[in-house]
Amino acid sequence: MSEFRVDEDSLLFQKFQQGDESAFEQLIEKYKNILLNYLYNFTGEKNTAEDLLSEVFLRIYRAAKFYQPRAKFSTYLWRVATNIGRDWRKKIHPAIISLDDLNSLEQPAKNFLADQQSFNPEKLLLGNEQQKIIRQAILSLPEKQRLALILKVYENRSYREIAAILGTSVSAVETLLFRARQNLKAKLSPQVF
């Protein structure tokens, strides 16, 4: 087993643990847009994603004294975000959870924040309609499939990071992604893009 080396963000968080508030602000600044995008893809609702983002940083802030770097700080951050998203999902939609394919569909719904910066009315209308269809298909997937897919496709996380975030093995992540892709193909095959 290889020895874990503390990453730059973990060192920054350790500075925060020692009383440097600006270190925490730097971490917020670095991750807020990426996490907002992740939570938006998770929930499909901008306001909810913003609320959950605040909850993520609040929870990390409050638990700072318990943090011990055992993996990359970003893995810890995504695990907290995932758990908060799961808690929200259980309250709002207790039965929804699933994942599927996104081989040729990665581009249309790729990045909420980037979509906000481009403006081509015709393209936006078509793109928004496609995004809604894709987002609905993703949101209808079983939870672990959906989370693995979002982390891989939208957040570009490695299989190992996804396994750590979801608390499972790398081979289980591979299976989740395969099943997610199969489910999405089945759900989206009637749609023509």
pLDDT, mean of residues 39-52? 88
In single-letter form, the type of residue at position 26 comes to Q
Q: Which of 32, 76, 72, 49 is nearest to 139 (CA)?
A: 49
For domain 96-193, which CATH number applies: 4.10.320.10, 3.30.479.10, 3.40.50.720, 1.10.10.10? 1.10.10.10
For the chain, the structural domain boundaries read 1-94, 96-193
Which CATH number does 1-94 carry? Answer: 1.10.1740.10
Taking the alpha carbons at both ends of the chain, their separation in whole angstroms is: 46
Model pTM? 0.60
pLDDT tens digits, residue range 106-128?
A: 333 444 444 444 444 444 445 56
